[in-house]
């Protein structure tokens, strides 16, 4: 069964800034909100674009107390091959609210391959399509982690048939749980993959 992709046209009536502010609120605060289908697209920080820092202010991005890591993304990819990815946000002290967004694109900012969500993680991770580009993000319904120093999200990525350099960009927030967009910690990453030369 294919994973459902949310069309961006369904979200156009709501302010993107308001949606993303809501995306990182702890679970109790979400009960009073209607933005339950995730943050807006295009906040991975890739290609000079906005990241979570556009709304979550008060701290410099990528501080030394935390880290955003992506496992499973190859340095050299084989066209048509599917890779299991795990995005991990870690920080000390414990994270009380967390969220992310990730995209995989070619150098011209168009979609590279196909992102999918494993069945076991579909209650925690969703996909949105924005102008032909897939953005993976956390689900708002996910409760904030309890006394945890790391949060993990799982994805799968199938490499495109065409050869070319590929970029993955991700941004994530380690929230402080105060139900505001200030005082949170934002982390970003960029990784690249080159064609392996093997079809």
pLDDT digits (tens, 9 = 90+) for 168-196: 999 988 776 656 566 578 889 999 999 98
Cis omega before residue 46 (within 30°)? no
Residue scoring higher pLDDT (180 or 155): 155
What's residue 192's pLDDT? 96
- Of 42, 151, 157, 60, which is closest to residue 101 (Cα–Cα)? 42
Pick from 43-47, 73-77, 88-92, 140-144 the range whose average pLDDT is largest: 73-77
Higher pLDDT, 30 or 48: 48
| pLDDT, average across residues 78-95 | 90
Which of 10-14, 23-27, 106-110, 182-186 is modeled with the greatest confidence? 106-110
Angstrom CA distances, 79 to 82, 103, 105, 133, 159, stand at: 9, 18, 14, 18, 5
pTM assigned to the model: 0.73
Q: Which domains does the chain have, with CATH numbers?
A: 6-195 (2.60.40.4060)
- pLDDT above 60 (res 167): yes
């Amino acid at each position: 069964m294919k994973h459902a992709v949310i069309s961006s046209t369904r979200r156009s009536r709501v302010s993107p800034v308001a949606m993303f502010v809501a995306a990182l609120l702890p679970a109790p605060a979400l009960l009073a909100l209607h933005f339950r289908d995730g943050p807006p697209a295009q906040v991975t920080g890739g290609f000079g674009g906005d990241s979570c820092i556009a709304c979550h202010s008060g701290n410099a991005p990528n501080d030394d107390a935390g880290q955003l890591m992506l496992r499973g993304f190859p340095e050299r990819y084989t066209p048509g091959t599917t890779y299991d990815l795990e995005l991990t946000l870690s920080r000390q002290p414990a994270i009380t609210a967390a969220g992310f967004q990730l995209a995989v694109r070619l150098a011209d900012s168009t979609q590279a391959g196909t992102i999918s969500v494993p069945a076991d993680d579909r209650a925690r991770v969703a996909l949105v399509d924005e102008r032909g580009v897939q953005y993976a993000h956390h689900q708002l319904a996910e409760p904030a982690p309890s006394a945890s120093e790391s949060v993990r999200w799982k994805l799968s990525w199938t490499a495109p048939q065409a050869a070319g350099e590929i970029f993955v960009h991700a941004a994530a927030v380690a929230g402080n749980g105060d139900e505001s967009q200030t005082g949170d910690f934002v982390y970003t990453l960029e990784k690249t993959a080159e064609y392996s030369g093997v079809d």
